[in-house]
Chain A
Amino acid sequence: MAQIQIKNVAKTFGAYQALHSIDLTIADQEFMVLLGASGCGKTTLLRIIAGLESATTGEVWIGERRVDHLPPRDRGIAMVFQNYAVFPHLTVFENIGFGLRMQKMPEAEVKRRVERTATLMHIEQLLKRYSGELSGGQRQRVAVARALAMEPDVILMDEPLSNLDALLRLEMRAELKGVLAESKTTAIYVTHDQVEAMSLADRISVMHQGHIVQSASPIEVYRNPAARFVASFIGNPPMNFLPATPAGGGTWTVAGEHFQGPKTDAAGLDFAIRPEDVTPSETGLPATVRLVEPLGAHLLVTFAVDGHPFRAVLDSERVIQPGERMRLAPQKGRIRWFHPETTQAVS
């Protein structure tokens, strides 16, 4: 059992506040992804959990133990680093067995575990090599195998795939997901890549400027962003926003069209819709085509709606020319509303 609890953790570097009182609970065996742009504090949070960085205030609990005063080696964690950190003076075997030997494990057991994890990561034929003789992907496999061999309560990963080329990243991503599900460890995975986050996570915590903005399942984060930041960070292209003015009784005017919305007395709201959730139709938002980008399966079309840029992903069968005027009907149930000042979702 290794539930992780982060209680009121804050971190300052001099005058700079990297983390603002973070509270987060990660369930046993959960795959948690910390997602955010660079500088949002996600790596700092991971390093505080690992014990490589100390929190300015707050507590970190792993399982039933408070660990924030313990050195990394006593926390029951293993970590995979962005640049792999495979020891260059040791063979792959010695790398994977490094932590086990530090625990003074009998040599026969070390050998058994190293061979098992190496087989799991498909590097059993590389055990005698040194890291200089390995490709980036192979080094990453060694780093993951080294962490898994420890059979840790928690495995922490700091952008482990970001140094791999695109194709390899896809392959490793799928493999990581399988291997970690099998190992039944709690995992915390830091990335700035939303696709990676979506595909791996049981739950995503979106971070922004030292805060966790939303912690929810990938689909929930995508469909019901808690704040405008999440809506504009997740999804490629991101959500479209248009200003809406109240027309009374929960009806809102957007680009001259009326939509049912939340019943609040706000002076204005932001109307939001995903680019794939609109279809060309007889009625809907009046739009003028500005730019057409064929993407193969789809067309990415940039419109101007009431003077605001608006992107839509449309079927590539259609022939669309710049300058063309059309109407875009939002799909039912997919419209979201955000408060322009608090930037929080309104329903």
Chain B
Amino acid sequence: MTASPINTAQVRKSGRFLFQASVVLLCAWVLVPIYFLLINTLSSPETVASFPKPFWPEFDLGSLSFFANFAGMLKALKNSIIVASLTMVMAIAFGAPAGYALSRFDFRGKETFRVLILLTRAFPLPLLALPLAVLFIRTGLDDTLFGLALVHTTLAIPFAVLITFSLFSGIPIELEEAAWTLGCTRFTAFTKVVLPLIAPGIAASAIFAFVISWNEVFAAAVLTIENRTLTAFLLQSLGTSPLHLKFAGGFILVVPALVFIFAVRKYLFAMWGIANR
């Protein structure tokens, strides 16, 4: 047991090397595909099919502009934005009060409720798809943007609840109590004290709900025919498209989601912290 200083230094050094190597590997795992997506999107069709790839993109906007003019493409984009916005509003409208209740009130079955919220995410959507489609056709919700937004809201609500729960839990109850003693009702204390403090977090979880809807393809493909969202539209039309168009489609899908997630990453970490407990 005589670890000489040199040995400890060596161990530390190789440990650091291992750490750095893992970081590089993980980054490459995520970034290289995105990088190729970018290169191929901004390349002419010939370059896309060739190998090796150029390191710098050619900034050939041919694929993208072709894509923008593709029939139905803009409508699908509009549909996606509408559905995602509806999802965002509904997820927060239902999720935030649930998050508040979880953080502020003690009620029977609270822990079970929290676990159940998470479990809804474990339920596979394909299993739900058929009964849901039948139900939607019966109620006339099929092929409507609102109907799809409802399904997306169910997907987004668990995250909205958990994120807002952690946000509310971060606000000391004394701040609300102080507001109550200073003339506030529970509601005005919420709007005047709690809401301003968690507004950025609410915005983040709203954006996250938006991204969930934006990325969702299965329900969108099953439940819509005429009013396809971007994902469903691309899934349908890209199968038969040439390679460079596939890359362009992928690019258009991935980039907004990436940008949004990057913007709200801080709050997602907070949520995982809570969900993992």
Encode B149-179 as 1/0 by CB contact (under 8 A) with A.
0000000000000000000000010110111
CA distance in complex: A20, B188 (Å): 34
* Interface assignment of A72: CB less than 8 Å from any CB of chain B: yes
Q: With an 8 A cutoff between CB atoms, is A318 at the interface?
A: no
Min CB distance A132 to B, Å, is 12
Partner of B174, one of A77, A81, A99, A102: A81
Interface centre among B177, B183, B193, B196 (most CB of A within 10 A): B183
Whole-angstrom distance between the Cβ of A247 and the nearest chain B Cβ: 57
Q: Is A52's CB under 8 angstroms from B183's CB?
A: no
Residues of A within 8 A of B185 (CB): 71, 73
Q: Which of A50, A73, A83, A87 contacts B183 (CB 8 A)?
A: A73
| Shortest distance from the beta carbon of B42 to any chain A beta carbon, whole Å | 44
A77–B188 CB distance below 8 A: no
Is the CB–CB distance between A77 and B181 below 8 Å?
yes
- Chain A: number of interface residues, binned into ranges: 20 to 34
B270 at the interface (CB under 8 A from A): no
| CB < 8 Å neighbour of A88 from B183, B188, B197 | B197
Could you give, for residues 65-100 of chain A, a 1 whenever the CB lies within 8 Å of some chain B CB and a 0 otherwise? 000000111000111011101011100000000110
The smallest C-beta distance from B161 to any residue of chain A, in angstroms, reads 24
CB of B180 within 8 A of CB of A85, answer no
Alpha-carbon separation in the docked complex, A50 to B179 (Å): 12
Q: What's the count of A-B pairs with C-beta under 8 Å?
A: 58
In whole Å, how far is B214's beta carbon from the nearest beta carbon of chain A? 31
Q: Dominant SS at the B interface?
A: helix
CA of A253 to CA of B63 in the docked complex: distance in angstroms? Answer: 107
Cα-based distance from A99 to B175 in the complex (angstroms): 13
Contacts of A87 in B (CB 8 A): 175, 178-179, 193
> Are B174 and A73 interface neighbours, CB within 8 A?
no
B184 at the interface (CB under 8 A from A): yes
A301 at the interface (CB under 8 A from B): no
Indicate if B30 sits at the interface (CB-CB under 8 A): no
In the complex, the answer to whether A102 meets B188 with C-beta atoms within 8 Å is: yes
Across-interface contacts of A254 in B (CB, < 8 A): none
Asked whether B122 is an interface residue with its Cβ less than 8 Å from the other chain, the reply is: no
- Contact yes or no, B177 A81, CB < 8 A: yes
Task: Give bound CA distance, A81 to B175, whole Å.
Answer: 9
Chain B residues with a Cβ closer than 8 Å to the other chain, count: 17
A150 at the interface (CB under 8 A from B): yes
A146 within 8 A of B: yes
Q: Are A102 and B182 in contact, with the CB atoms below 8 A?
A: yes
Task: Report which of B174, B177, B182 forms a contact with A98, defined as CB distance below 8 A.
Answer: B182
The answer to whether residues A103 and B183 also contact, given A87-B193, A89-B196 and a CB cut-off of 8 A, is: yes
The answer, among A51, A73, A88, for a CB contact under 8 Å with B182, is A73
Query: In the complex, how many angstroms separate the beta carbon of A212 from the nearest chain B beta carbon?
Result: 24
Q: How far is the CA of A51 from the CA of B178 in the complex (A)?
A: 11
* Contact, CB under 8 Å: B182 / A78: yes
Assess whether B178 is in contact with A85, with CB atoms less than 8 Å apart.
yes
Name the residue of chain A whose CB is nearest to the CB of B188: A102
- Which A86-134 residues have C-beta < 8 A from chain B? 87-89, 98-99, 102-103
Bound-state CA distance A99–B184 (Å) is 8
A99 B172 Cβ-Cβ under 8 A: no
**B196 CB to nearest chain A CB (Å):** 5
- Per the bound structure, the CA–CA distance linking A82 and B180 in Å amounts to 16
Does B174 contact A85, Cβ atoms closer than 8 Å? yes
A246 smallest CB distance to B (angstroms) = 54
* B110 CB to nearest A CB, Å: 15
A: residues with CB less than 8 A from B are 50-52, 71-73, 77-79, 81-83, 85, 87-89, 98-99, 102-103, 143, 146, 150
Interface residues of B (CB under 8 A from A): 172, 174-175, 177-185, 188, 192-193, 196-197
22 A-B pairs with CB atoms under 8 Å apart are A51-B180, A52-B181, A72-B180, A73-B183, A73-B184, A77-B181, A79-B177, A81-B177, A81-B178, A83-B172, A83-B174, A85-B175, A85-B178, A89-B193, A89-B197, A98-B179, A98-B182, A102-B183, A103-B183, A143-B178, A146-B178, A150-B182
